[in-house]
Amino acid sequence: MTEPSSIPATVRRNHWMNQVATHAQNKPDAPAFRYLGETTTWAQASERMDALAAALARRGVRAGDRVLLLTLNRPEVVLSVFAVNRLGAIAVPINIRLTPAEIAYIVDDADASVLIVEQPLAPLVGAVAQLTDRIRRVIVIGGAGEGQEAWADLVAEDLDGFQAPDVAEDTTCLIMYTSGTTGRPKGAMLDHINLFAQSLTLVRVNQVFDEEDISFLTAPLFHIAGLGSIAPNFVIGIPTVIHPLGAFNPTDLLDTWEKERATIVFNVPQQWQVICADPTIAERDLHLRIISWGAAPASETLLRQMADCFPHATNVAVFGQTEMTPITCALGGEDSLRKLGSVGRPIPTLQYRVVDEDLQDVPRGTVGEIVYRGPNLMKGYWRKPEETAAAFEGGWFHSGDLVRQDEEGFVWVVDRKKDMIISGGENVYCAEVENVLAAHPAILEAAVYGRADEKWGEVPVAAIALVPGQTLTIAQLQEWLGDKLARFKQPTDLAVVPALPRNAAGKVNKVALRTSDRALAPA
């Protein structure tokens, strides 16, 4: 039998650049993006992607180079990622809430010289430039200042015979820096295989089977929750409505959902709380099919409110982390109340185990660390071989999440491994205590951390923000906890603060709490 003739690898590629080009050919005038009422068609998206890629290539961007993005949410951001990837280069989104010093660290760590920035954030570049000299070229989405170039001008340049290089699916396309709650941020290297695996996950979780859906993006594009959530839209070819970042206004959001006829939406529980409380919600003509949430626990009260407000939508919870692109577990609406507090079952596109310190499987119902393998998993941490080796010890990726799994396979996150307190030889899982504290009527938010203790080694301490007008003492709290938590799990001290410290990703900063512990005055 004669071997078939070889074909160019490029004709079989499967990544979001080729997916956009496919839709541009098959349905050029259909909407790819909607933003503030304006439409970008698939043909326009493909043309702008290639034009920007050609312009970047003329300015010296090559395969493997890192290009920084300091941006809000708009179609130009997504197209910039595509254009960078079109060259085999790597997009590095930066959290806009970081300080100049934190941004400068990422600039230096990524060793990047080109920065794409949105005009309202351009002043931040000047502050960063005082701390690092690596940024040589600044491209502004919007009006460009002295020494800068306008994004629109680059897109308007002629292609001039540009030919995109062949980009393999295992090429790193994103470096997403972790929030750094336990130290300096690490850059998780994600490739096109990761993004396609994420797409399959969301196609299944959100049951996207045709082109009738309209996806709505609220999550920031500088988080993997943003880029990861829209990855399946380019596989299936459905429109993405991009909501601008800014002060969260539930009425404006509901207005846009209604106007755009959105069917798939995601918000964090805090956002769902204010959405469900909006006085106009009962009057809305909404078309929501999937209402999704994650990043923090949702109470039974909130889940029931969501069901009442959106009776025809399926409630879906997702859980994961940046290194997994990001979803690892999902909880369908039919189980959200039956398995309240669970993050769901692990998704079928990955392998997982729940293990002890020796990487031995633990029985179901026993707390262990959940570890992963699979196409969702990052390639490693950028230029951090020791941290990468530690994360992959034993051939599995160590999530750092301590979990227990019930007989049906549902997973409960008990704590982050590094947040666990060992008090008198007993393990105290901060997340467990925090979940109980959250139900106290006087407590607005709570975080538990360990304090060194001469007798017990460590004892749990609670930092809390109170509901306005409420007071609470440690004695009152311990009395309330009497039948809810074992004595060794109960906080031994209480610090009342105006608000919990959070990092740029919105997560409670336990490092800051431990560092400032002596300064926190007990209630």
Query: What predicted TM-score, i.e. pTM, was given to this entire model?
Result: 0.85
Residue 193: its H or E element: helix 192-205
pLDDT, tens only, 424-480 = 777 787 888 888 898 899 999 999 999 988 778 789 999 999 999 999 999 999 999
Cis peptide upstream of residue 498 (ω within 30 degrees of 0): no
Residue 183: per-residue pLDDT: 57
Spell out the per-residue pLDDT of the chain, length 523, in tens: 556 668 888 889 999 999 999 999 999 999 999 999 999 999 999 999 999 999 999 999 999 999 999 999 999 999 999 999 999 999 999 988 888 888 999 999 999 999 999 999 999 999 999 999 999 999 999 999 999 999 999 999 999 889 999 999 999 999 999 865 445 789 999 999 999 999 999 999 999 988 899 999 999 999 999 999 999 999 999 999 999 998 889 999 999 999 999 999 999 887 898 999 999 999 999 999 999 998 777 778 888 999 999 999 999 999 999 999 999 999 988 898 899 889 999 999 999 999 999 999 999 999 999 999 999 999 999 999 999 999 999 999 999 999 999 999 999 988 777 778 878 777 787 888 888 898 899 999 999 999 988 778 789 999 999 999 999 999 999 999 988 887 888 999 999 999 999 876 677 888 788 877 754 444 3
431/479 Cα distance (integer angstroms): 20
Please report the pLDDT score of residue 182 as a whole number: 47
In this prediction, residue 249 carries a pLDDT of: 94
pLDDT at 428: 83
The pLDDT value recorded for residue 3 is 64
Q: Which two tokens stand for residue 515?
A: 């560092």
Residue 179, by phi and psi: left (phi above 0), alpha (psi -120 to 50) or beta? alpha
Q: Is the dihedral of CA 389, 395, 396, 402 positive or negative?
A: negative
| Closest residue by Cα to residue 57 from 158, 179, 200, 146 | 158
Edge-to-edge, what's the strand order for the sheet holding 443-453?
Answer: 443-453, 457-466, 493-496
Burial (0-12, 13-18, 19+ Cβ within 10 Å), 221: buried
Contact 91, 173 (CB under 8 A): yes
Q: What is the pLDDT of residue 137?
A: 98
Dig out the tokens for 67 from the structure. 């290009």
Q: Which two tokens stand for residue 267?
A: 């918000």
Distance CA 387, CA 380 (A): 9
Whole-number CA gyration radius for the chain: 24
**Tokens 């990052």 found at:** 378
Domains and CATH numbers, the chain: 35-190 (3.40.50.980), 247-417 (3.40.50.12780), 420-519 (3.30.300.30)
Rounded to 5°, angle at Cα 467 from 464 and 473: 50
Would you state the pLDDT for residue 179?
Answer: 62
pLDDT of the residue at 521: 40
The shares of helix, strand and coil residues in the chain, as percent rounded to the nearest 5, are: 35, 25, 40
Question: Which structure tokens are listed for 186?
Answer: 């690490």
What ranges make up the beta strands (E) of 110-233?
Answer: 114-118, 137-141, 149-150, 172-177, 187-191, 215-217
How much is the pLDDT for 431?
81
The pLDDT value recorded for residue 507 is: 76
Q: Which residues does residue 370 pair with via DSSP β-bridges, in sequence order?
A: 354
40/309 Cα distance (integer angstroms): 32
State residue 522's pLDDT score: 42
> Looking at residue 220, what is its pLDDT?
92
Quote the CA–CA distance of 513 and 515 in Å, as a whole number. Answer: 5
- Helix (H) / strand (E) containing 457: strand 457-466
Burial class (CB in 10 A: 0-12, 13-18, 19+), 143: exposed
Alpha carbon 93 to its chain centroid, in Å, reads 12
DSSP letters of 289-319? SEEEEESS---HHHHHHHHHH-TTSEEEEEE
pLDDT in tens, 267-300: 988 789 899 999 999 999 999 999 999 877 777 8
The residues facing 40 across adjacent strands are 33
Burial (Cβ within 10 Å: 0-12, 13-18, ≥19) of residue 280: exposed
